[in-house]
């Protein structure tokens, strides 16, 4: 199951749980819980991103000079390619 589908399933489950507790989409409590859930998810993703960058930099710095040069060459090659945006 891909990540986007898992996230949708979690939000759907949260909505069902709130409905079971008789907190409907028409009350502020529903939207408050949903906002807190979204904020928590955002903070975890942000922290994970920063940790992954730190690990990547650490691994790069622990590489030999030739391995670093290969990474730099690949990076430069990617930078030269036209963007498909």
If the chain, 85 residues long, is cut into consecutive pieces of 10 residues, what is the mean pLDDT of each piece? 81 87 86 88 87 93 94 92 70
Side-chain half-sphere CA neighbours of 25 within 13 A: 5
Task: Name the phi and psi angles at 82, rounded to 5.
Answer: -65, 145
What tokens does 17 get?
């749980």
- Output the pLDDT for position 85: 55
Side-chain half-sphere CA neighbours of 14 within 13 A: 17
What tokens does 60 get?
């790069």
Which is nearest to 25 in space by CA: 41, 11, 39, 5?
Answer: 11
Q: Is the pTM above the cut of 0.75?
A: no
């Amino acid at each position: 199951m891909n990540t986007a589908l898992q996230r949708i399933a979690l939000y759907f489950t949260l909505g069902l749980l709130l409905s079971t507790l008789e907190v409907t989409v028409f009350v502020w409590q529903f939207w408050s819980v949903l906002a807190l859930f979204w904020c928590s998810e955002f903070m975890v993703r942000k922290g994970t991103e920063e940790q992954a960058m730190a690990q990547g930099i650490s691994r790069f710095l622990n590489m030999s000079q030739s391995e670093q040069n290969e990474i730099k060459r690949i990076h430069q090659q990617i930078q030269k390619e036209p963007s498909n945006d």
